[in-house]
């Protein structure tokens, strides 16, 4: 079996295992998994930019919030149905990512990180400034009656879970295709040595802009799905905290590994969940676990698995 065949079966197997888990896990964990799948899509978008292109962004909450508010405001003020509202969220995330990418990519390294952070902060302040429409920190609830797609009730545990799984599967297979394509290999070349990639004739600026746009739209799709499936849009999701989360998920799971974002999101979600049940100072336990993991598995969980046992992991 070739490495590509192994990779294909891995991705198919992960999706099948996730689908089966809904019927095996207790309701509490299957509900958590629906949330994890949406957040893993957010992390996958981030991984494309950071793990494969080598661009460290601290502004991805802007894209997540763009998808979330694009959907939420379209439903609140224009009575869009869920599908049309999702498209509105994706369009807003697309426009925002093009604008941010075009301007932020004029910088490199630490400057790029700071510029993306400032864009995200500007987005957060914009949400607060237009609180008359966005309701600021309070946010707004999307009514249960509005979260229906045909006969599918997105508020039911099964409807929510399998909608989240559908989004995850689509993005998971898209990422798997991208990283094996010429475009994906060019992104890796830029990550490894941008000057040499330029010398070989690659249009580095165009490729990086495409990576920002794909990453932003994928993150925006996660934001739109989160608002639709869980019925809430709030300014909290545009804060710096939500720009740091995908970085942690990717680092924990393994940057530059397609399955890394899912593993990292699951690990971080349950680490905080179980730590908070033990002590109010749960971040101390979470922080200690993160430090140990960074020391003994610097390439992340999936990265170490690839390094030690499965070199074919994409």
Kindly tell me the sign of the dihedral angle through the C-alpha atoms of 81, 84, 86, 91. negative
Q: Which of 46-50, 213-217, 271-275 has the lowest mean pLDDT?
A: 271-275
**Cα–Cα dist 92/106, whole Å:** 22
Tell me, what's the pLDDT at 250?
Answer: 94
Confidence of residue 237 (pLDDT cuts 50, 70, 90): very high
Confidence of residue 295 (pLDDT cuts 50, 70, 90): confident
- Which SS3 state, helix, strand or coil, does residue 25 take? coil
Tell me, what's the pLDDT at 131?
Answer: 87
**Cα–Cα dist 97/216, whole Å:** 5
Average pLDDT, the chain: 92
Structure tokens that stand for 39 in this block: 């957040």
Q: Locate tokens 């095996």: which residue?
A: 24
Confidence of residue 273 (pLDDT cuts 50, 70, 90): confident
Q: Is 167 exposed, middle or buried (0-12, 13-18, 19+ CB in 10 A)?
A: buried
Helix and strand element counts for the chain (H, E): 14, 4
pLDDT at 286 > cutoff 80: no
- List, in sequence order, every residue forming a beta bridge with 84; answer none if it has no partner: none
Listed ranges 26-30, 65-69, 282-286; the one with the highest mean pLDDT = 65-69
Angle value at C-alpha 54, between 51 and 58, nearest 5 degrees? 85
Q: Which of 111-125, 180-194, 300-314 has the lowest mean pLDDT?
A: 300-314
Tell me, what's the pLDDT at 256?
Answer: 92
Q: Locate tokens 């004029």: which residue?
A: 106
Tell me, what's the pLDDT at 103?
Answer: 94
pLDDT at 136 > cutoff 90: no
- List, in sequence order, every residue forming a beta bridge with 152; answer none if it has no partner: 149
pLDDT at 276 > cutoff 90: no
pLDDT at 120 > cutoff 90: yes
Region 143-149 average pLDDT: 85
Provide, rounded to the nearest whole percent, the portion of the chain with pLDDT above 90: 71
Tens-place pLDDT, residues 27-37: 889 899 999 99
**Cα–Cα dist 159/243, whole Å:** 28
Tell me, what's the pLDDT at 167?
Answer: 97
Tell me, what's the pLDDT at 3?
Answer: 80
Closest Cα partner for 21 from 39, 37, 3?
Answer: 37
Region 78-97 average pLDDT: 94
Tell me, what's the pLDDT at 255?
Answer: 93
């Amino acid at each position: 079996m070739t490495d590509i065949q192994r990779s294909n079966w891995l991705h198919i197997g992960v999706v099948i295992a996730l689908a089966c888990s809904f019927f095996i896990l207790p309701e509490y964990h299957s509900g958590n998994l629906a949330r994890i799948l949406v957040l893993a899509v957010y992390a996958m978008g981030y991984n494309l930019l950071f793990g494969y292109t080598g661009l460290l962004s601290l502004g991805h909450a802007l894209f997540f919030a763009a998808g979330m508010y694009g959907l939420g405001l379209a439903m609140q003020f224009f009575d869009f149905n869920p599908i049309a509202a999702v498209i509105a969220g994706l369009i807003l995330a697309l426009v925002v990512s093009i604008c941010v990418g075009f301007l932020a990519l004029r910088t490199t390294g630490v400057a790029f990180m700071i510029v993306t952070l400032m864009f995200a902060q500007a987005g957060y302040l914009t949400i607060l400034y237009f609180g008359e429409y966005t309701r600021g920190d309070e946010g707004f609830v999307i009514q249960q009656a509005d979260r229906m797609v045909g006969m599918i009730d997105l508020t039911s545990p099964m409807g929510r879970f399998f909608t989240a799984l559908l989004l995850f599967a689509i993005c998971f297979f898209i990422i798997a295709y991208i990283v094996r394509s010429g475009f994906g290999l060019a992104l890796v070349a830029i990550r490894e040595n941008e000057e040499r990639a330029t010398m070989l004739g690659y249009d580095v600026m165009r490729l990086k802009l495409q990576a920002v746009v794909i990453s932003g739209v994928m993150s925006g799709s996660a934001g739109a799905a989160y608002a639709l499936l869980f019925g809430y849009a709030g300014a909290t999701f545009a804060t710096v905290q939500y720009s740091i989360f995908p970085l942690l998920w990717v680092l924990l799971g393994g940057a530059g590994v397609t399955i890394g974002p899912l593993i990292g999101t699951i690990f971080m979600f349950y680490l905080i969940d179980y730590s908070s049940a033990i002590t109010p100072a749960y971040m101390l336990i979470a922080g200690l676990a993160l430090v140990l993991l960074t020391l003994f598995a610097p390439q992340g969980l999936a990265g170490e698995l690839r390094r030690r046992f499965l070199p074919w992991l994409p």
